[in-house]
Structure 1
Amino acid sequence: MNSDQLVIRRAVQADAEAVAEVWIRSFDAALPTVRRPRGNDRIRLWFAEKIVPHRETWVADADGVVVGMMVLHDGDLDQLYVAPDWRGRGIGDRMVALAKENSPEGLELWTFQVNAPAQRFYERHGFVESFRTDGSENEEREPDIRYAWKP
């Protein structure tokens, strides 16, 4: 299946476990050196209780299988992860386009400094670096970058 056959839709509660699995697999593949402050069970609970029911959560659905996820919250593109075996198929591009449509006043996001592919991806989509931190304010204690997109 190619990305043209994907449906990008709002997540429903029944998607929470699949959303968490995409996040876990993608985070681990993309950020192997970044320490996660929570184990997999806590992450699954976080998505089931806090994220999917209370935040604007979107999924990339490939014939009933969640292969990508995105969370928008208070002007932030808060989470964007694509399953490792689905990367490079334009799913992230489609999700960013949707995020921009839904946030025409602009968006901001964080990415870790060690995640050079994410930096290139967001810069290609018009996001501009605002500032960098030493990571002392995030749970992972990992230096990060704040990006902004203004239309």
Structure 2
Amino acid sequence: MDIEKLNQYRSTVKLIEKDKKRLEKWESYRPDAVFGKTKGSGSQFPYTERSFPVNGAYEFHGNKDYTKKIQDLKCKIQSSINKSFENKIEVEDFIESIENKSHKLVFIGLFLEGKTQEVVAKEVGYADRSNVSKIVGKYLPQK
């Protein structure tokens, strides 16, 4: 385990939530109609150029390129969710493996709850944040 993964834990959790919402959006997305405009001329002389609004039903299942792009996007989002979930599990597993209860509380406060070292030190009962830094340094490899 390294400090980077621990620091990214809360962002990872948020990313999972956002990716799930994006995935739900794309899974339920079905465009009803297409709107646009085209150019042409009037039917009578003088034939002056003008624009015409157009719209029509969208054949969602008939558009293979569009369907493939949506499917690729959904696969990428699902892959992101899976990778983020693996990172989340790894962090939580690491913290659960800490046997000392006060040390575990330090890691939970700092990395899972996002509290400052000062707040964690007070909650756990240490004199100052230097004790918290020492505990974190004890479990994480130095670069």
TM-score range (shorter-chain normalised) is: under 0.3
- Higher strand residue share: 1
Q: Higher relative CO (CA 8 A, sep ≥ 6), structure 1 or 2?
A: 2
Normalised by the size of structure 2, how large is the TM-score? 0.24
Normalised by the size of structure 1, how large is the TM-score? 0.23
- Higher helix residue share: 2
